Amino acid sequence: MSEQILIDLHTHSLLSDGCLLPAELLRRCEAAGYSGLAITDHVDSSNVAEVLRAISRFCQGMNGKTPVMLVPGVEITHVPPGEIEGMVRFIRSQGKFLIVGHGETPVEPVTPGTNRGFILAGVDILAHPGLISPEETRLAAERGVCLEITARKGHCLGNGHVARQALAHEALLVMDTDTHGPDDLLSPRKVRNTICGAGIEPERIPEFIENSLRLARKYRP
């Protein structure tokens, strides 16, 4: 069943603030039965080129050597809203990378206007968008930007609001862990508890899986 497919498009390694090497992160995901994994380390203007090269090299090197659909990506983090479009354009010019935008989580001082900036720039996933507005949610729906329901402590405080807005305005949803270490990894129980805990019926879990699979297939090497 699709509900048993484990796919996570928002994780971090030692290339930013995670505690695992990319190889160990992948191996632990293999052992946990993952079908798909995106490594999306934090980037801003100081490190984006280096992280893109490192993640691309790793993912290409593992092509055909792992049963996991391994996807190279980045999470643009705390970049001023006026610089988001340029950074997204630069990343797109470097190849096939899944782009996650670090949204206006309720537990960090993210600059107002960041959610809108990421949506207008056409990122693939707006992570933990906090108290996203109806207008921004409608815009995300129109532009095909997925909104994230997250299992990450603190960031998950906005899940219920994000879910209500997305369902009201027919925005696409994905569920990710924002993994930084081994204890954060997915399980079928975590998928169900996180999605249902946001107030979404369990019958809709396959929609989350399909949205994630679509993105993973688009960006895998």
State how far the Cα of 162 lies from the Cα of 156, in Å rounded to an integer.
Answer: 10
Q: What pLDDT, on the 0 to 100 scale, is given for residue 2? A: 58
Domain spans in the chain, listed from the N-terminal domain onward: 2-219
What pLDDT tens digit does each residue of the chain (221 aa) get? 455 799 999 999 999 999 999 999 999 999 999 999 999 999 999 999 999 999 999 999 998 999 999 999 999 999 999 999 999 999 999 999 999 999 999 999 999 999 999 999 999 999 999 999 999 999 999 999 999 999 999 999 999 999 999 999 999 999 999 999 999 999 999 999 999 999 999 999 999 999 999 999 999 98
Q: What pLDDT, on the 0 to 100 scale, is given for residue 3? A: 58
Prediction pTM value: 0.97
What are the b/e assignments for 75-87, b being 16+ CB within 10 Å? bbbebebeebeeb
User: Is residue 45 within 8 Å of residue 83, measured between CB atoms?
Assistant: yes
State how far the Cα of 121 lies from the Cα of 85, in Å rounded to an integer.
Answer: 5
2-219 folds as TIM Barrel (3.20.20)
State how far the Cα of 119 lies from the Cα of 108, in Å rounded to an integer.
Answer: 19
Element (H or E) spanning 69, and its range? strand 69-76
Q: What pLDDT, on the 0 to 100 scale, is given for residue 174? A: 98
Q: What pLDDT, on the 0 to 100 scale, is given for residue 1? A: 40
Q: What pLDDT, on the 0 to 100 scale, is given for residue 145? A: 98
State how far the Cα of 141 lies from the Cα of 185, in Å rounded to an integer.
Answer: 28
Q: What pLDDT, on the 0 to 100 scale, is given for residue 186? A: 95
Sign of CA dihedral 103, 107, 108, 112: positive
Query: Please, which residues have CB within 8 angstroms of residue 105's CB and are 6 or more apart in sequence?
Result: 127, 128, 129, 130, 154, 155, 158
